[in-house]
Structure 1
């Protein structure tokens, strides 16, 4: 890696695909800085009823209160809010966010910032325009596993998930995320991690990922990830990291859904073959 060359990586994928697990592994690297998910671009891009703001490239009205809460409660660095301009131009807000994250990264003596927000996968088209040289780490996981986990989490913890999601919405979330990953998987600034590969062969998978990130593999990634995860996870949303790297398979799928639901899910995802996605 070039000395003093700041790099920004976005870790994305359908929620419940293992993004928090992978973030914890990467954040345990001594040269990588990462924080709780910011959801910055999710809140920045105007929603459907904000058509005028969208036409004028203005950030959503939801962004300002969100970043205020993020910097005050999650980062405990409210003094950094002064660097965000009062004018809500999306480019200016994005620049302020990245510059602030760069400053926090450099405070730790690092030059690699990892931003993990699963839903940022739906905003890649905006991020690539607003963040020059941004790189993306996608993670993909079995649709049956993800859909079951997403359905369970949003029903157990509806408030942080903005409400319980129906089975159809969970299926749609996974299908859409996979389609986006397929669209970008051959782009030079994108890499795809297979959750199964990560669990079965964590060291070799992380070595390949470190090569993409222009870093040397560090065994601390495997030794310290559970400790690092404590400052990154959102327990109130059901986002936790196990102490042991293991494959739980389809246990949750068969536990959460009855036979009719199982058959319905499988019928909706049968045309997606993850083996056709280039994965490390």
Structure 2
């Protein structure tokens, strides 16, 4: 392996795309030509009902396949660091660490209330064929029938359901289907954030500190040059101070607090706070 795998971990709608897209502006830092590669991570475990993979699910066959796919993308003379960002990975960090024990991990956390409103928009959005087609080339051929059927079901649910949402979106945590039957969509988004943050945070306590960089969305968007510089040093990436402004010019904090305001206006904030409060406090957020 001639490159360093760098895996961005974060709940959906926590700034993982923004962080990946910023870092890949740096020479030698590459990623996949699609948004996520959950299909690759799930190969040989494709029918498992959720994304909470355990370390023992990283069999030798799984490791060999995933290493091969990473090498196909990363083993060239121009790549020093290969960045991967799949939000479902926040539920299976132990599984990832078993596959890549020498990887570097960047854990980004965002205020759960802001995440809820942003995630809700994705749950209720239309499926985008062009977005999915970019991922299609990375679906293992033997898994195509499984994903084709699930895409069909998700599309039908959005069209015919009275709930005005997709059947599923984002990281699938254990028990999510039951939550969808019993709670509002905002509350399900809150549970989704909580499970993603809690499971990742717990897993990172078992990984050497020098392999993990923790960053908060609010800090990153307030002082992007400072934190991207820190992340570059953590990754071992060469950079020039003069280029940091250009690299970080698309990062802004315009969305900070908007979700909280929307939840308050819709009288949903109290219920969401009840779900996320303890996890928020562990990360020094005020609720």
Relative to the length of structure 2, the TM-score reads 0.67
Alignment-derived partner of residue 131 in structure 1: 100
Q: Tell me whether 1:25 sits opposite 2:22 in the alignment.
A: yes
Provide the rounded CA distance (Å) in 2 between the counterparts of 1:249 and 1:41.
Answer: 31
For structure 2, the 5+ residue unaligned runs are: 133-150, 155-165, 169-184
For structure 1, the 5+ residue unaligned runs are: 60-87, 227-242
The structural deviation recorded for 1:174 is 0.6
Deviations 1:202-227 (Å, cap 9, x if unpaired)? Answer: 1111111111101233454541567x
The structural deviation recorded for 1:249 is 2.2
| Aligned pairs (5 A) from 1:13-52 | 13-35=10-32, 36=34, 37-39=36-38, 40-48=40-48
Check the 8 A contact 1:185/1:192 in 2, yes or no.
no
Alignment-derived partner of residue 223 in structure 1: 246
Check the 8 A contact 1:148/1:252 in 2, yes or no.
yes
Check the 8 A contact 1:25/1:222 in 2, yes or no.
no
Q: Tell me whether 1:93 sits opposite 2:55 in the alignment.
A: no
Check the 8 A contact 1:32/1:114 in 2, yes or no.
yes
SS of equivalent to 1:133:
coil
The structural deviation recorded for 1:12 is 1.4
Alignment-derived partner of residue 267 in structure 2: 260
SS of equivalent to 2:229:
helix
Alignment-derived partner of residue 205 in structure 1: 227
Q: Tell me whether 1:111 sits opposite 2:80 in the alignment.
A: yes
Deviations 1:133-185 (Å, cap 9, x if unpaired)? Answer: 11211110000001110011211235669525633321111101111232144
User: Following TM superposition, where does structure 1 have runs of at least 4 consecutive aligned residues deviating by more than 6 angstroms?
Assistant: none
SS of equivalent to 1:8:
strand
Deviations 1:7-50 (Å, cap 9, x if unpaired)? Answer: 00111100100001111110111121112222221455343469
What is the count of residue pairs matched by the alignment?
223
Residues 30 and 45 (structure 1 numbering): CA distance in 2 closer, same or farther, change over 3 Å? same
**Once superposed, what is the RMSD of the aligned Cα atoms?**
3.1
1:154 pairs with 123, 144, 150, which one?
123
Which deviates the most, 28-37 or 10-19? 28-37
